[in-house]
Structure 1
Amino acid sequence: MKQNKILIPIFLMVVIPTLITTFLSFFRFSTTLDRKLSDVFFHLLPTHHFFSKDIVIIDIDEQSIAKYADHPELGQWPWKRHIYPTLIGYTKLLTPPKITIIDIMFTERSDYDDAIVSANESLGGISHAANFRNGGIVIPRKGMQSISEKFSVKLETSIPFPNYENVAFPIGQIGETAPMIHVVNVIADGDGILRRFSPFVRWNGLYFPTLAMQAFALGERYDTLTQESDFYLIKDDLRRHVPVGKDGLVRAYFYTEEELRNIPRYSAAGIIDSLEKLNTGEVEDPNSLLVPPQLFEDKIVLIGTSAASTHDDVVTPHGLFPGVIAQAVFASNLREGHLLKELPESYGIIFTILVLLIGVLVLFINQWHLLKNLYPIVAISLFVGSFYFLYRMDLVLSTYSFVLGFPISYLLGFAYLTYTEGREKRKFNHILRNLVDPEVVSVALENMESLKQGGEWEITAFFSDVAGFSSISEELSATDLAKLLNEYLSAMTKVLKTNAGTLDKYIGDAIVGIFSAPIQNKEHPKLACKTALEMVTELEHLRVEWNRRGDYTPLARAMVFRIGLNCGQAKVGFMGTDSLASYTMMGDTVNLAARLEAAAKDYGVSILVSESIQSSCKEEFHFRFLDWIRVKGKEAPVKIYSLESFQKDVSSQMLKAEKEYESGFSLYLKRNWEGAIEHFKNVSKILEKEDVSSHLLIKRCQMLFQNPPPVDWDGVYTRTSK
């Protein structure tokens, strides 16, 4: 293609979509759209990470609050604080958990704070929740400075972790005696969906760990390292890369909705009930309790709420979930290394540009028409495959540029291609106006040069001819003859085209058709057989209608035809001059089909086919063996069959008659003329009508009986006429 012809497609399919997607990125629409689209892909693609087996949740759920609503020691929500040491202590009855992380804030005073203080000092391994916020009045509280210095983390980094103006630490002695403190703040994206978290947050120039970070550290020593834009957590021999974004947040891997709902959660009511049964001696074996204490051995235990009255719900990519579930996901991510890195939007834009450039080559350079039709599937598959490949590596490719840019590119490119090809087709319209079959016209316009060149492949040749048409035409006026032919040819041609056949030509009342050309179709023998049977049925309908109307003459109303079918290699092509051309076929395969149509008269059958047709279609269609013949001009014998019906329509009478016929033919080949004749006579008796094929073989046997064949006779009948 000339250079000036490729510039327009590049402008339409590459430049315009790229400008549109780049324009969106300037207004930050792309970020929200990107994350929404990636959520969709995450739902559709197979998961490759699974929730950590180290994390369990003690859940103050609806059942717990409802069961103890009237309990004098607990009451309605919020529960009295002395229950929390009970829950924590139960998890430490056997081997204690790695750490207990509380996702409930104790930032206001109560009458039961001493119980929590005592638990801090005696049980240990507890991390309390702090709440950071922006806005409002900063109220200095006693001990806040000492608490902040005690639990802050020293970081030397330029990463802009989320910064807050105000803080609420656990109140009084709870905060001062807390073994550990974590921040429970979460930050939703612009569309209100929680997808990301931060390992640290800032306040007053100090850094504090979040709940997820505390689950990773377990209260033990760890180091941090910042190398350029990469952030690492280092604990013992573990070096965890945390792909923090420009705003200090990291994209979480949210697993599947099923996994989130199956995170091990144990009802607080179940723990209280189990402890009561253990204390009263009702149950001696801890393993038989509703919530056995060994469930918490060496685990990371989160204590949170899922009851609606606690108002601690967040919107996740999988819908509405309790906040403690989201915190558990973040903790699992950081602990197991299930962290996603969002690649820069420019990566997605560059990828999209490459795909769009390939699209230009496919639509405007490539000459393989199938590939043009498959182009959208190929492009989408390439995108999904690349996205999934990167996703398996925990990398998130920007999607909005492709999801928006590709449809725009395809529509513009396809519209321009349709316009340019339409212009070319109009140039060649005068060449094709003499073609009869619209399908040939359509394909020719798609690839004119290929049709002119022609080709050689396997086809099925179809020939049909009306029996005794000369006698019919002599009885009719020119007007009635034309009307009869129009009705007959129109009906038969419609059946031919409905079954993907191509009309080659009409020769008077004869119809010549091709199956599997110009559009190749591996089912061509079956389609030809189906066409032949449907034509027989259609002619019956025509005869009924002609008799009802009283049209034409009795001979015309009793019209029958013969069909010959053969499949094999043949030369096919679009042949002729620029102003007069037709799509036709040539070769021995075609000649044999024509000979079979003529031979059908001798055997008194409507549809005569070769062995190649029978062997290809015998599973769906029923054939009757007739003879071995040698057609004029060919030495090789041909085994011929009559196409009788679909297999589902075969009757026992037909099968019995055919078996008798084959027995007669076997004796015929053995030169047992008298025995063969008896079998052939029985065929007509079984069918309760004269069987022309059997009668033909009877006459042949009688002739051979009178004039025995030579010793080397092979039983093949040689036809001397076409």
Structure 2
Amino acid sequence: MKISIIIYGLVISVLVALVLDLLVRRDGYLQGVEMSITDRYYTFREPTRKEEPRIVILGIEEEDITRSDIGYPLFDKQLADALKKLISLEPKAIGVDLYRDLPVPITSNFTPSIAEYFTKEKTILDEVLVQNKNIICITKLGDKDHPTIKPPPAIKDSVDFGGQVSCNDISVDTVDNLIRRGMLFQDDMDGNTFYSFTLQLAVQLLGQDFISQPDENDPALLQLGKARIRPFEGNEGPYSNHPGGGFTYLLDNLGPKEFTTFTFSQFVDGEITENDIKDKLVLLGATAESLHDYSATPYNMKEPGIEIHAQMLDQILRMVELGDEPIKTYSTNTESVLIFVFALLGVALAISGRSVLLLVLSSLVLVFGLIGGSVLLFVKYNTWIPVLPMLLSLLGSAMVALFYLFFTEGKEKKMMRGMFGPMVGPSVLKFMEENPESVGLTGARKTATILFSDVAGFTTISEKLSASDLSAVLNVYLTPMTNIIMNYNGMIDKYEGDAIMANFGVPVWDPDEAESHAWKCCHSAIEQMEKLEELNKGVLKTDYDLELGVRFGINSGEVSAGNMGSDQRFQYTVMGDTVNQAARFEPGCKIFGVSIMIGGTTYDFAKDKIEARFLGLLRAKGKESSVRVYELLAKKGMLPDDRIELVTKFEEAWETYSHKDFTKAKSMFDGCLAIDPNDEPSKIFANQCVEFTKSPPPEKWSGEWIQLTK
């Protein structure tokens, strides 16, 4: 893979992650959607304790406020009598979610003096509240936009931990006005600390020892029984720079529980017994919709306030007794790293995709894997991850990378198509377009097989043809030869008139078949000879009265491959001794009277796929050492029996010849001619034996044939 693509991929990943994390997510643009996703995740969870029988709701319903003997609001004496009656049933505590900052007389007609009222009715309620420390009342701390509502005056100073005064302020998410956080305590505008309605009730049930500070070096951390929690600071989970306030925590929103619930009418009518109330936490408040004491939660847009408090109280009890901690979230920096990692994955997905189908399937696997993994983490391990930004980062970076690749690789493909389109077959060209880094245009040492072919005596033939016929004959010959070469993944290096130079193994080749270029080149040469025979009997004979003969030189070895030429004009080609040797083999065919000559390395690479005859040792002009050369005869298993016999006898004769026993060798070559009187190599070596009998070769001669010309 190109280093430039890796670098651009990293740049794309960083940019996409930064945009999503810093400019989109942290500015809150994803907050609402992320909250909705989180709400949905809660529906997949099962609470560790499905019921909480110690919480009882005494709700003032529509049927209650329409009764003449109840009505609403409950006046002070009426509330005092109800509290007395509840106390007689021995509850653990009573939470009164009704404001009593001002007196509520029996009638709104204030004809009696206020002093008389205070000395009678209000004194009764004050006495009940003061005498029963397990009655928890409420105050509203408010803020700059909401007024403060004070607690009942008789117990206004009982604000300590475990006292009777509690704040019932509820944190509402400003994004969608839903309640997703509970509160333990909060300071008022004067800096005084007030404990929440639910925490004060929990103290009545559990005592004061369940809450502590486990680490003096970490004052924000609180121990609630078996659970440890930290205050909400504005960026946890789906929140982005959300205002905090007080010690709030994320609710686990496991849906509305079915708490034991009674109406005030049932209470007045004596339908509630001691068994329903004893040792329990009773929450008294309005549940009638017409009283508008409700708020929106993820599971109910009109959840009565007293029921929301019951849910919060249940979660505190579960935290203390079962260790049900609020959902865990990672730090902002860790979430940023996760977003960046998925941006990297998106880029990797884009630059490694080999097809649209594979890209789509891989994307679906990653997307559903991420969603499934996030659900698993949430449900099983109580951990939240920023799944939406991670998904957007994955898909966004993949899309950006794809656009980048579309424009940059489009140029590379165009260059590849222009440079190699006429030189290689469609499958090779497609591979090169998709893997430009595998071509190595700047030059590389590679092992390859080089083919040279030339029409024998074509200069004489061309002199007899008109220009148009000459062009037509070349097209008739070169077109099928080129197709055969390309069918074997060969590359047309160049045409020189009737001559062809082709390369196998460059510019690209399958590494799993590293040496297959040798046999594929040989097979292409064999098929070219077969095609030539067909042309000679067909169109060349009938249309032009021609019969062409072609010689092939094939050699394998290391070559220098790459773009070569000037700054203005260059071409991908190969150079080196291997190439030069292949070029010499083509005219060298004339020495032995054969059509296809291959080098020893080619034979070694391809011998399991071809039939060949060892011709001897050939030394090129200016070279100190000789090389083995072979005549390529057929594909493996396609040589007739008589030719197999001829090859065996010929190679035995050559061994005798190389040992300077020329008389015996002559006789053996004559035996080969008895099999095939037209076998040119046998004729040539038989004549050479006669010459060496008359004039022996040099003393150090070992059978090589010295080639005098290229």
Q: Does 1:588 align with 2:588?
A: no
Corresponding residue of 2:695: 707
TM-score, structure 1 as length reference: 0.50
How many positions carry a matched residue from both structures?
466
Deviation at 1:638, TM superposition (A): 0.1
Change (3 A) 1:414 1:615: same
Corresponding residue of 2:679: 691
Deviation at 1:649, TM superposition (A): 4.1
Q: Distance in 2 between matches of 1:624 and 1:234?
A: 92
Deviation at 1:629, TM superposition (A): 1.2
Moved more, 630-639 or 397-406: 397-406
Q: 1:48-97 CA deviation, whole Å, 9 max, x = no partner?
A: xxxxxxxxxxxxxxxxxxxxxxxxxxxxxxxxxxxxxxxxxxxxxxxxxx
Moved more, 542-551 or 666-675: 542-551
Corresponding residue of 1:276: none
SS in 2 for 1:563: strand
**Which of 663, 666, 690 is the aligned partner of 2:652?**
663
Deviation at 1:455, TM superposition (A): 4.3
Q: Distance in 2 between matches of 1:231 and 1:619?
A: 78
Deviation at 1:15, TM superposition (A): 5.0
Deviation at 1:134, TM superposition (A): 10
Corresponding residue of 1:26: 31
Q: Does 1:476 align with 2:465?
A: yes
Change (3 A) 1:548 1:516: closer
Contact 2:34/2:388 (CA < 8 Å) preserved in 1?
no
Matches within 5 A, 1:255-334: none
Q: Distance in 1 between matches of 2:38 and 2:643?
A: 69
Deviation at 1:507, TM superposition (A): 1.2
Corresponding residue of 1:672: 661
Corresponding residue of 1:414: 402
Change (3 A) 1:352 1:701: farther
Contact 1:571/1:587 (CA < 8 Å) preserved in 2?
yes
Change (3 A) 1:669 1:497: same
Q: Distance in 1 between matches of 2:343 and 2:450?
A: 44
Q: Distance in 1 between matches of 2:484 and 2:56?
A: 78
Q: Distance in 2 between matches of 1:8 and 1:242?
A: 38
Deviation at 1:589, TM superposition (A): 1.7
The one-letter code sitting in structure 1 at the alignment partner of 2:699 is: V
Deviation at 1:550, TM superposition (A): 6.7
Moved more, 410-419 or 517-526: 517-526
Corresponding residue of 1:531: 521
Q: Distance in 1 between matches of 2:591 and 2:613?
A: 15
Contact 1:12/1:412 (CA < 8 Å) preserved in 2?
no
Moved more, 513-522 or 563-572: 513-522
Q: Distance in 1 between matches of 2:613 and 2:537?
A: 31
Contact 1:465/1:561 (CA < 8 Å) preserved in 2?
yes
Q: Distance in 2 between matches of 1:574 and 1:444?
A: 19
Q: Does 1:577 align with 2:566?
A: yes
Contact 2:519/2:609 (CA < 8 Å) preserved in 1?
no
> What is the root-mean-square deviation in Å for CA atoms of aligned residues?
6.1
Q: Distance in 1 between matches of 2:625 and 2:30?
A: 75
The one-letter code sitting in structure 1 at the alignment partner of 2:629 is: I
- Any stretches of 5+ residues in structure 1 without a counterpart? 40-102, 106-128, 149-201, 210-221, 252-333, 364-368
Q: Distance in 1 between matches of 2:395 and 2:200?
A: 49
Contact 2:673/2:682 (CA < 8 Å) preserved in 1?
yes
TM-score, structure 2 as length reference: 0.50
Deviation at 1:718, TM superposition (A): 0.7
**Which of 405, 420, 423 is the aligned partner of 1:437?**
423
Contact 2:598/2:631 (CA < 8 Å) preserved in 1?
yes
Deviation at 1:721, TM superposition (A): 1.9
Deviation at 1:665, TM superposition (A): 1.8
Contact 2:596/2:632 (CA < 8 Å) preserved in 1?
yes
Corresponding residue of 2:280: none
Change (3 A) 1:132 1:606: farther
Deviation at 1:572, TM superposition (A): 3.4
Change (3 A) 1:448 1:500: closer
Contact 1:440/1:583 (CA < 8 Å) preserved in 2?
no
Change (3 A) 1:444 1:242: closer
Q: Distance in 2 between matches of 1:406 and 1:663?
A: 70
Q: 1:654-673 CA deviation, whole Å, 9 max, x = no partner?
A: 54433322222221222222
- Any stretches of 5+ residues in structure 2 without a counterpart? 62-85, 95-197, 232-236, 238-248, 255-320
Q: Distance in 1 between matches of 2:54 and 2:549?
A: 94
Q: Distance in 1 between matches of 2:507 and 2:366?
A: 32
Q: Distance in 2 between matches of 1:418 and 1:370?
A: 13
The one-letter code sitting in structure 1 at the alignment partner of 2:478 is: L
Deviation at 1:399, TM superposition (A): 4.8
Matches within 5 A, 1:301-700: 343=330, 347-353=334-340, 356=343, 398-419=386-407, 437=423, 451=441, 454-519=443-508, 522=511, 523=513, 525-538=515-528, 540-541=530-531, 543-544=533-534, 547-549=537-539, 556=546, 558-647=547-636, 649=638, 654-683=643-672, 690-700=678-688
Q: 1:534-554 CA deviation, whole Å, 9 max, x = no partner?
A: 343255346536645575567
Change (3 A) 1:247 1:526: same
Deviation at 1:9, TM superposition (A): 5.7
Matches within 5 A, 1:92-131: none
Corresponding residue of 2:125: none
Change (3 A) 1:230 1:481: farther
Deviation at 1:104, TM superposition (A): 13
SS in 1 for 2:633: strand
Corresponding residue of 1:310: none
Q: 1:447-470 CA deviation, whole Å, 9 max, x = no partner?
A: 89974x544443332211123323
Q: 1:238-290 CA deviation, whole Å, 9 max, x = no partner?
A: xx999999646599xxxxxxxxxxxxxxxxxxxxxxxxxxxxxxxxxxxxxxx
Contact 1:570/1:589 (CA < 8 Å) preserved in 2?
yes
Q: Distance in 2 between matches of 1:684 and 1:678?
A: 10
Q: 1:545-602 CA deviation, whole Å, 9 max, x = no partner?
A: 664557556763x434222222233333423334433233332221111011111233
Q: 1:206-264 CA deviation, whole Å, 9 max, x = no partner?
A: 5999xxxxxxxxxxxx99996678788999xxxx999999646599xxxxxxxxxxxxx
The one-letter code sitting in structure 1 at the alignment partner of 2:648 is: K
Q: Distance in 2 between matches of 1:597 and 1:355?
A: 58
Q: Distance in 2 between matches of 1:489 and 1:583?
A: 20
SS in 2 for 1:704: helix
Change (3 A) 1:525 1:415: same
Q: Does 1:719 align with 2:704?
A: no
Q: Distance in 2 between matches of 1:546 and 1:508?
A: 19
Moved more, 518-527 or 462-471: 518-527
Identity of matched residues, %: 25
Contact 1:343/1:396 (CA < 8 Å) preserved in 2?
yes
Q: Distance in 2 between matches of 1:137 and 1:573?
A: 87
The one-letter code sitting in structure 2 at the alignment partner of 1:26 is: Q
Change (3 A) 1:30 1:138: closer
The one-letter code sitting in structure 2 at the alignment partner of 1:27 is: G
The one-letter code sitting in structure 2 at the alignment partner of 1:632 is: K
Moved more, 653-662 or 696-705: 653-662
Q: Distance in 1 between matches of 2:225 and 2:564?
A: 78
Q: Considering only CA atoms, is the larger Rg found in Structure 1 or Structure 2?
A: 2
Contact 1:250/1:341 (CA < 8 Å) preserved in 2?
no
Q: Distance in 2 between matches of 1:143 and 1:681?
A: 130
Deviation at 1:637, TM superposition (A): 0.7
The one-letter code sitting in structure 2 at the alignment partner of 1:490 is: T
Q: Distance in 2 between matches of 1:589 and 1:492?
A: 22
